């Protein structure tokens, strides 16, 4: 079992990666401080894994909230539903909340944990590739708003992240591919050797080779853990993890949450960021083509929706959380393995790319 650590002094926590952690020998009970547990999951994951998890928690008093599946459910209304359940059940500050599911469940559960009685402990048990390699690590929690994705939330770290790689076997192909967008992101933004490794192992990844997938997940988690440890609240280098996200969030908000999966939108966003960098002579054409090719290999979109023009993009990009002093800040790759934060890109250049 891989055991990584997100080093945040007294708020440090482990990331466990292994097969079978939802079935047996899970370290989850060692991170629960009292006998009360509330699991938050959704109606797709619950039939697959809720009973298994509850079996491991037989010595605890456990209840659950089961939400509908999908990005469209990451709302203030469902956030309130979780809090109402906690209140009705007389849960106290010593209750441990467990997020069992993908990125939506992890984000909304973490936000509820951050707010309930000003903070209760929670544990991430991610079941999708995207949540395993990215959203479960780092303490970003949030819900969406019709005017912007993840605009209402908090930085709130979990007690532990428990990744059962076997859960990928039940993941639909489209969801797996969407997770690969976040995997590829790590290679582009700061680890050129990893990007090359992905190119060399892409057939094994697509075939579901368990050893290769475990190596891939561990490498992504280590990269995320290192960045979070150096910049927990995104004051600097952590913003690089938003590569492709400014464009991607605009697509999600404009098209309607869930029409495009988050990873699909990020994939197109990374291609747009790469095309922008190439246009500005910041990225070589050959690197741009390699990025496009690896993204396309996993059947991810590389073109923006035909219904979105420059005005549709820019209205959302102007609201992006990274913006400072009214300037749109973008993450642009300057080589495979290196990216920069830029706030000097004119809207005329963006219009050229997005039109």
Just list the catalytic residues.
118, 140, 182, 224, 234, 238, 242, 245, 249, 262
Neighbouring CB atoms inside 10 A of 347's CB total: 13
- In our burial notation (b when 16+ CB lie closer than 10 A, e otherwise), range 119-156 reads ebbbbbbbbbbbbbbbbbbbbbbbbbbeebbbbebeeb
In a 10 Å sphere around its CB, with 0-12 CB exposed, 13-18 middle and 19+ buried, how is residue 292 labelled? middle
Q: Let me know how many helices (H) and strands (E) the chain has, helices first.
A: 12, 11
Distance CA 301, CA 275 (A): 14
Cα–Cα separations (whole angstroms), residue 282 to 91, 93, 187, 275: 53, 50, 17, 10
Half-sphere CA count of 306, side-chain side, radius 13 A? 0
Task: Name the E strands within 146-271.
Answer: 148-155, 161-164
Distance CA 149, CA 248 (A): 10
Distance CA 291, CA 184 (A): 8
Q: What sections of 21-96 are H helices per DSSP? A: 51-56, 76-88
Distance CA 12, CA 14 (A): 7
Residues 128, 175 contacting (CB under 8 angstroms): yes
Q: Which residues does 301 contact at the CB level (< 8 Å), separation at least 6?
A: 260, 264, 267, 268
Treating both helix axes as pointing N-terminal to C-terminal, what angle do 262-279 and 173-190 enclose, rounded to 10 degrees? 30
Cα–Cα separations (whole angstroms), residue 341 to 63, 148, 232: 44, 21, 17
In a 10 Å sphere around its CB, with 0-12 CB exposed, 13-18 middle and 19+ buried, how is residue 200 labelled? exposed
């Amino acid at each position: 079992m891989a055991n990584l650590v997100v080093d945040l002094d007294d708020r440090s926590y482990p990331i466990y990666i292994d097969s079978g952690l939802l079935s047996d020998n899970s370290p989850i009970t060692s991170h629960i401080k009292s006998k009360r547990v509330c699991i938050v999951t959704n109606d797709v994951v619950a039939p697959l894994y809720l009973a298994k998890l509850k079996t491991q928690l037989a010595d605890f008093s456990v209840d659950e909230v089961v939400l509908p599946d999908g990005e469209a459910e990451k709302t203030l209304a469902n956030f309130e539903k979780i809090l109402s359940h906690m209140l009705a059940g007389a849960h106290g500050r010593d209750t441990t909340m467990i997020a069992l599911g993908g990125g939506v469940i992890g984000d909304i559960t973490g936000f509820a944990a951050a707010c309930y009685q000003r903070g209760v402990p929670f544990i991430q048990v991610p079941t999708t590739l995207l949540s395993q390699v990215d959203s479960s690590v780092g303490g970003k929690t949030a819900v969406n708003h019709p005017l912007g994705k993840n605009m209402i939330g908090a930085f709130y770290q979990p007690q532990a992240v428990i990744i059962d790689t076997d859960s990928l076997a039940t993941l639909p192909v489209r969801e797996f591919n969407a997770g690969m967008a976040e995997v590829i992101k790590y290679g582009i933004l700061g680890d050129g050797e990893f990007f090359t490794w992905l190119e060399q192992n892409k057939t094994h990844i697509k075939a579901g080779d368990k050893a290769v997938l475990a190596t891939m997940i561990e490498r992504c988690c280590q990269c995320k853990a290192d960045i979070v440890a150096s910049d927990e609240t995104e004051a600097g280098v952590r913003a690089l993890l938003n590569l492709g996200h400014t464009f991607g969030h605009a697509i999600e908000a404009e098209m309607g949450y869930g029409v495009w999966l988050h990873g699909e939108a990020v994939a197109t966003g990374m291609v747009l960021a790469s095309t922008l960098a190439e246009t500005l002579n910041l990225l070589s054409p050959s690197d741009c083509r390699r990025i496009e090719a690896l993204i396309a290999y996993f059947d991810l979109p590389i073109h923006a929706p035909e219904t979105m023009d420059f005005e549709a993009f820019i209205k959302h990009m102007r609201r992006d959380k990274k913006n400072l002093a009214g300037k749109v800040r973008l993450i642009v790759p300057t080589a495979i393995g290196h990216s920069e934060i830029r706030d000097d890109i004119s809207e005329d250049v963006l219009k050229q790319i997005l039109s």
